Amino acid sequence: MGLWRHLRGGAVALAVLGLVGCTNMPVSGPQSWDITAVSHDGDIAPYGLVKLTSSAVKTLKASAPRLAGYFPDSRRPDGVRFGIGDVVGVTLFEAGAGGLFFPNDPGTIRNGNYVTLPNQPVDSRGNISIPYAGTIAAAGRTPTDVQKSIVEALRQRALEPQAIVTLVDQRATSISVLGDVRNAGRFAVIPNGERLLESIARAGGPSGAGFETWVVLERDGRRAAAPFGALVDEPANNIFVRDRDIIYLFRQPETFLAFGASGRQGQFNFDAWRVTLAEAVAKASGLNDTSADPGSVFLYRGETRQVAEKLGVDTKGFDGPIIPIIYQLDLRDPAGFFLAGSFEMRNRDVIYVSNAASVETSKFLSFLRLIIATANDPIIAANGGYALKSAINGGTTSTTIVQSTQTLR
């Protein structure tokens, strides 16, 4: 009987170990109740939990990366102004003969009362030289401004002077278009202004697929980026370029990750410049019908502190400008599919679908069954050996056989 007590004790111990081990069941990620219980370490939350609603979707759309929001000045440039190194042409006119440039000489034949001066660059001090007028400031001024200064300087010496000032070779005002374009280089600024897409077109356009291309605009020490598709689809982003702008195009195929009880797990390409959460879930073959909890679809993303606060997240416990956010989508609600169709994915988003509670229960019961079977195996082996020994000895003593919690005689 001592043997059976030891065996029963071992079975009970194994069962207890099985109950303790149920918290270590194999899973592909956290359970839904682990995610929704935001506070883990005291009162400090490691992430912000945001339920996906129509209000949240509107807030995210308003905060999407846009050049127009970072460079709000949408006015057309005032026009080209002369700069140091620009080559300038000047033509002077007088009302008639007998003036400063056209003496009253009856024997002289000329086409008109004007003279064209040799082209000259704006010097290092920003000036040009005009005979009898001296140095005229040109840098930072428009042709009209320079014309007025020349006329004013000659008014007391020439006969009703007039001047026409032209930009012969534009060297000072330019933009640079670099990166993944077909003809990168430095281009002169168009006097009447041009927009980003026009500047990119002058450089030959993107060298790769548009949906994989990003546009970076650097101006006055500030820099902002937006997808190339955003310039085409949202005209407000196609802003005017200005002198000394640097436009840089680069290719970055956008991807997202899918884990958990989705149809497929892995990394997926957008293959478009705009992909919604509904399209992303479909790319991952939807939800696994045998294990997924449609009410527990989560999306992991980092948001700026300003956006997180607009979403109602308490950001006091977080350091840095980026706040980790988990969005929760309930696809048991029919309206959830409309929200998923309006929620725009971003590069490197992570989708996680939690298992249903019934799946975890089934796993635990299977695990417990395995524990009980493991405990029964040595008991059955011992019973078999004892019965075999009795049969060999020809004994007739009744044998007690113990299996699980039942006793058979």
Q: CB burial class (10 A; 0-12, 13-18, 19+) of residue 393?
A: exposed
Q: Is residue 58 part of a domain?
A: yes
Residue 234 has pLDDT above 60, yes or no: yes
| Structure confidence at residue 28 (pLDDT) | 63
pTM for the complete prediction? 0.69
193 within a domain of the structure (yes/no): yes
Q: Which of 108-122, 188-202, 355-369 has the highest mean pLDDT?
A: 188-202
Do 101 and 155 lie in a common domain?
yes
One domain, residues 155 and 231: no
**Could you tell me the CATH number of the domain that includes residue 333?**
3.10.560.10
Average the pLDDT over 133-155 and give the result: 95
What pLDDT does 105 receive?
67
Q: How far is CA 290 from the centre of its chain?
A: 34
Q: Is residue 13 part of a domain?
A: no
What is the identity of the amino acid at 79? G
Whether 203 and 296 share a structural domain:
no
What is the C-alpha to C-alpha distance for residues 186 and 202, in angstroms, rounded to an integer? 10
Structure tokens at 206: 């993107």
pLDDT of 190 > 60? The answer is yes
pLDDT value of residue 45:
65
Structure tokens at 348: 């490197």
Same domain flag for 220 and 138:
no
In a shared domain, residues 271 and 221: no
Give 47-78 pLDDT, tens digit per residue: 999 999 999 999 998 888 778 778 888 788 87
Who's near 146: CB < 8 A, 6+ residues apart? 82, 88, 128, 136, 137, 138, 163, 165
One-letter-per-residue 3-state SS of 196-218? HHHHHHHCCCECCCHHHEEEEEE
- Residues 273, 348 within the same domain: yes
pLDDT > 80? residue 239: yes
What pLDDT, on a 0 to 100 scale, did the predictor assign at position 21?
A: 47
Residue 367 has pLDDT above 60, yes or no: no
The predicted structure's pLDDT at residue 13: 47
Q: What percent of the chain stands above pLDDT 90?
A: 52
Residue 179 sits in the same domain as residue 147: no
Dist CA 121 CA 86 (whole Å):
5
295 φ/ψ angles, rounded to the nearest 5 degrees: -85, 0
Domain count, the chain: 3
Q: Are residues 280 and 195 in the same domain?
A: no
Cα(298)–Cα(325) distance, integer angstroms:
10
Please state, rounded to an integer, the average pLDDT across all residues of the chain: 83
141 & 94 share domain: yes
Looking up residue 124, the CATH number of its domain turns out to be 3.30.1950.10
Instruction: Decide: 239 and 74 in contact? Cβ < 8 Å.
Output: yes
pLDDT, greater one: 373 or 241: 241
> Can you give the C-alpha Rg of the chain in angstroms?
40
pLDDT at 328 over 50: yes
What pLDDT is attached to residue 370? Answer: 58
pLDDT score, position 63: 84
pLDDT at 382: 63
Indicate if the pLDDT at residue 389 is higher than 70.
no
Q: Domain range spanning residue 270?
A: 32-63+254-357
**How confident is the model at residue 69, as a pLDDT?**
76
- Asked whether the predicted pLDDT for residue 335 surpasses 70, the reply is yes
The pLDDT, as a whole number, for residue 394 is: 64
Q: How far apart are CA 356 and CA 289, in angstroms?
A: 10
**pLDDT tens-digit readout, 154-189:** 998 888 999 999 999 998 889 999 999 999 999 998
pLDDT tens digits, 14-55 = 444 444 444 555 666 777 777 887 654 545 568 999 999 999
> Tens of pLDDT along 74-125?
788 877 789 999 999 999 999 877 778 877 766 555 667 888 999 999 999 9
- Cα 213 to Cα 206, 254, 267, distances in angstroms: 7, 9, 19
Dihedrals phi, psi of 198, to nearest 5 degrees: -70, -40
How much of the chain exceeds pLDDT 70, in percent? 77
294 domain-assigned: yes
Q: Residue 56 corresponds to which tokens in the numbers above? A: 């949240």
